[in-house]
Amino acid sequence: MTPYDEQTLSFDIADQSRRGVLRTPKELVERAGLLINLAADCEQSLDGECFRIVPEIFLAAGHRVATFDLPNHGPRVNEYGAGLDGWAAAARAGTDVFADIRETGTALIDVCLQQGSITEGAIVVSGTSRGGIAALHLMAADPRIVAAAVHWPVTYLPALREFSGTADNAIVQRANAGALIPALTGRHVFVAIGSVDPRIDAVSCHRFFEQLDAGSGTAKPELFTGPGATHAKSCDPSIPRFPMATAYDAGAAFLLSCISRVS
């Protein structure tokens, strides 16, 4: 593994504490970029079995990597519960965790800029599953992010069992990826999704990509797809697995190419 220095970043939003982690490789390239990688809490987002692939590629290439705890994950579990159950309970109670994600991610970028840890124009974001929709929200909210790569992202929340019956919820409607298309159109977005995914609904994900592609001009989104199952544990075991490692490699290459255009 590439040697790096790790820094815990503490910052406040509306008098509430937030935690981020920043990793800087020992051998930093000139005009180094910053990847924000999202999956769950800081530890899982940077060191999870699959989630770590893109961050490790960036560190090995001499770029910084950062993340933050998603709402209801790790130290941010609260009265609504943990994980996606917590997100859904919060939405039903009128609390918008997606606004929280946007505010926290934007504040993390501000902190990194203030301490000189970001090259202007070289910020990218990636995310997996729930981290995918979080990454899309952050990109939609912050024009400083030049590219996003999302792997089997949640795009339609009511497709999740945790969000069953929330199709008419105003927070959920605003949070679905389709509602973000106006802010994502014409920007550099990479989407990886298999042909089968009952967990997040592959059909909804493909539909989101098609709608994004239809509205884009010269900066067309990129789709990495093919036969096989993503979120394979939710599928019939007879269905072959999608080549997830290859998809992560492709997403990382896409983001690195976007950084090179502006560096």
Q: What is the CATH number of the domain that holds 258?
A: 3.40.50.1820
User: Would you state the pLDDT for residue 262?
Assistant: 59
Instruction: State the Cα–Cα distance between residues 175 and 92, nearest whole angstrom.
Output: 13
**pLDDT band (50, 70, 90) for residue 107:** very high
Question: 263 in helix, strand or coil?
Answer: coil
Contact by Cβ (8 Å): 102, 242: no
**Domain range for residue 62?**
4-262
Closest listed residue to residue 73, CA positions, set 18, 36, 112: 18
Q: What is the mean pLDDT of the chain?
A: 94
Tokens of 138: 């952050």
Within 8 A by CB and 6+ apart from 9, the residues are 19, 20, 21, 22, 66, 108, 111, 112
Instruction: State the Cα–Cα distance between residues 263 and 259, nearest whole angstrom.
Output: 6
Please give the residue that has the higher pLDDT: either 242 or 42.
42
Instruction: State the Cα–Cα distance between residues 202 and 206, nearest whole angstrom.
Output: 6
Model confidence over 22-50: pLDDT tens digits? 999 999 998 899 999 999 999 999 999 99
Share of the chain above pLDDT 70, in %: 97
**pLDDT band (50, 70, 90) for residue 119:** confident
Please give the tally of structural domains in the chain: 1
